[in-house]
Amino acid sequence: MNPPNLAQASLFRNCNFYLGHWKDFSKMIPVYDPSSNQEIGSVPDLPAEEIRAAILFAEKEQRSWAKTLPKERAKYLRNWANLMIQNREDLAKIMTWEQGKPLAESRGEIDYAASYLEWFAEEAKRTYGDIIPTHRKELRLLSWKEPIGVTGILTPWNFPSSMITRKVGPALAAGCVVISKPSELTPYSAIALAVLAQEAGLPPGVFQVVTGRPETIADEFLDNPGVKKISFTGSTRVGKILLEKSAKQIKRISLELGGNAPFIVFADANLKEAVKGAIASKFRNTGQTCVCANRFLVEEKVADEFATMLAEEVSKFKVGNGFEEGVNQGPLIHSAALHKVDSHVKDALQKGGKLRIGGKPHSLGGSFYEPTVLTNVTEDSLCFQEETFGPLAPIHSFKTEEEALRIANATSVGLASYMYTNDPARIWRMTESIEAGMVAVNEGILSTEQVPFGGVKESGIGREGSKYGIEEYQEIKYICWGGQS
């Protein structure tokens, strides 16, 4: 199949950029359009030897990239960001084609992705060291930051572009070269980024893209001493495996893992705003974000009204192929994702939940699912215990603030959380007590490049974006300089 009308057709390629060339491979992995389930192409299924060669190539480049001036690195990153914006429409089409999200959301993601390159172009110039007050007259003490070294990044299918730039921006800014392994479900956005990296003038070993089986590539990153740092976004289950395996070489690792975000609505909240926030948080990317509201906790007095208002807004959704005008809910990524959502809905209903809207696979077939609102959902329902990663809004009502907080924190993960209330004292109490890396108050979308994105508990290790993101790719070196008196 031809890519959908790209202005620059070369952005869509069935090969990888590594070892300084565009290369295909004898064994390929097919990639499917989740809207039609048709194959859109295939990308290399690289074996460990090829990954090893890419790492060797990266190690050579690492020495010179680390020596470039921050200002030069900033220039490359800015050029790259500008090219992303210039090619926004094509990149968005590629994303919608392989990932399924509505075109407007893909355009938004391209801007979001480019913003990380732009932000870290600026941060590259601000990685200060310290002059430390000495404890002996003849000594001078100082410290500075150094790049960790060759970095392997492993990124998911739900945000095929921004999860890469959120890692590659700070890595390159810090002076680390990157080998990027995108999800095998959505490799084309990463490959398009490699095309633009070349156009931006990046030296060939600075950003390589390799596709293949996740275990093969991750294991090579973990076992190969040439890779000094790994950054992963994905499930907590896989994060734990990587963390355990990284112990062998004490490999530096950043993990951005799953969430189970509570969305708490108190009776004093502006309900119209709360519904608006709920729609944005829950249904962005058809509910396939790790920060999306997973458990709705609504104060008993307004629970019914909130559910009615939410269901009414959901009834206006248009589900369909992301390229169609007006569609705001695309398909789920694959049939396994659909089965998970459906099993959560069935389980909640069986445990006493009540259906307000949706509740079954969509008549469009494939992996389309009806946007769903359930009330009276019990705390022991699967959708309260695990991330659903789909268009299901389960509502549970509570009576007191203490109860809301107890339920909100009754999870092993702690990424995002949301609350709607107009009581300032309660906002302080709740934000201080909630066990999450990110808290949104009277707002449904919290992601942006200038804030520290990340979680507590089993939601991961480290922060992305913000002034802290670059630290994930740096080591601190301390220098003790004698004979100075």
Of 447, 459, 466, 474, the one binding ligand SIN (CB under 6 A) is: 447
Strand ordering across the sheet containing 460-461: 207-209, 178-181, 151-154, 229-233, 252-256, 460-461
Min CB(465)–ligand SIN separation in Å: 8
Of 159, 232, 266, 384, the one binding ligand SIN (CB under 6 A) is: 159
Min CB(192)–ligand SIN separation in Å: 19
Nearer to ligand SIN, 159 or 420 (CB): 159
Q: Is 117 in the site for ligand SIN (CB under 6 A)?
A: no
Contacts for 298 with CB less than 8 Å, ≥ 6 apart: 264, 265, 306, 307, 395, 396, 397, 398
* One-letter-per-residue 3-state SS of 271-315: HHHHHHHHHHHHHHHHHCCCCCEEEEEEEHHHHHHHHHHHHHHHC
Min CB(221)–ligand SIN separation in Å: 20
Using the rule CB under 6 A, give the single segment among 72-80, 285-293, 342-350, 434-442 that binds ligand SIN: 285-293
Contacts for 373 with CB less than 8 Å, ≥ 6 apart: 307, 310, 311, 314, 356, 357, 358, 393, 395
Min CB(289)–ligand SIN separation in Å: 4
Q: Is 183 in the site for ligand SIN (CB under 6 A)?
A: no
- Give φ, ψ of 277 to 5 degrees: -65, -40
Nearer to ligand SIN, 217 or 261 (CB): 261
Q: Is 294 in the site for ligand SIN (CB under 6 A)?
A: no
**Positions 187 through 226 that interact with ligand SIN (CB under 6 A):** none
Q: Using CB atoms, what's the residue nearest to ligand SIN?
A: 447
Would you call 256 a catalytic residue per the annotation?
yes
Q: Alpha-carbon dihedral of residues 344, 350, 351, 356, nearest 10 degrees?
A: 70
From CA 101, how far away is CA 479, in angstroms rounded?
50
Q: Is 291 in the site for ligand SIN (CB under 6 A)?
A: yes
Nearer to ligand SIN, 59 or 109 (CB): 109
Q: Is 158 in the site for ligand SIN (CB under 6 A)?
A: yes
From CA 178, how far away is CA 49, in angstroms rounded?
18
From CA 99, how far away is CA 187, in angstroms rounded?
10
Instruction: Name the catalytic one among 256, 449, 464, 472.
Output: 256
Q: Is 337 in the site for ligand SIN (CB under 6 A)?
A: no
Of 233, 246, 254, 376, the one binding ligand SIN (CB under 6 A) is: 233
From CA 272, how far away is CA 300, in angstroms rounded?
17
- The residue type at 437: G
Q: Show which residues are catalytic.
A: 256
Residues found near ligand SIN in the complex (CB under 6 A) = 158-159, 233, 289-291, 447
